[in-house]
Amino acid sequence: MRCEEPRKELTDLEAEQLNDKERFRNVNIRYTDSAEILIRIEAPEMLRYIESNKLKEEFTKGFVAYFYDKSGAVANKLASNYALRIHAEGKTYMRDSVVFTSLNGEVLKTTELIWQENNGKLYTDKFVRIIRKDEILQGYGFETDQNFRQGIIKAIDAIIPADKLFNESESNGQ
């Protein structure tokens, strides 16, 4: 005896809403180069719009992207409650509780982040907060590479321990 899940029939309204779209559930996408995984994306649901020359993917229930280092270990994690990838632009727009977490515990939070895939840049003009072990950086406007190795906050406000602001020779009056 074969065990199968019962097939759910769509209502006319649900079928109409999926016109020119494909719906995927429990999405797991892997981006590789020479058989090495670079990025893995997981999402509970993805809608793919298949209109001519307007291919786009919408993650209406959010997504999580894992970035891998050269050894194959997860180096960084990026998540948001909503994302839209537009193929013709080569961009992914993330909105609603965008959170980036690095392996060393740094956390970036913002309301919107744009990932420009062709040059590997991520940026926003919105408010950002970066939380580190003993400091908080925040401001408006942020840009970084997709590995989050170097970033720029355009209008910055920071809480940094004094010993990090001034080295010992300066504090001793030398």
Return the HEC string of 79-126: EECEEEEECCCCEEEEEEEEEEEECCCCEEEEEEEEEECCCCEEEEEE
Q: Which sign does the torsion angle of CA 137, 60, 104, 40 carry?
A: negative
For residue 28, the model assigns a pLDDT of 93
In a 13 Å sphere around the CA of 39, the CA atoms on its Cβ side amount to 13
Contact 102, 76 (CB under 8 A): yes
For residue 17, the model assigns a pLDDT of 58
Which residues of the chain fall short of a pLDDT of 50?
169-171
For residue 169, the model assigns a pLDDT of 47
Q: Which two tokens stand for residue 29?
A: 């996408």
In whole angstroms, give the CA distance from residue 10 to residue 16. Answer: 9
Q: Which residues of 138-158 are buried (b: 16+ CB within 10 A; e: fewer)?
A: bbeebbbebebeebebeeeee
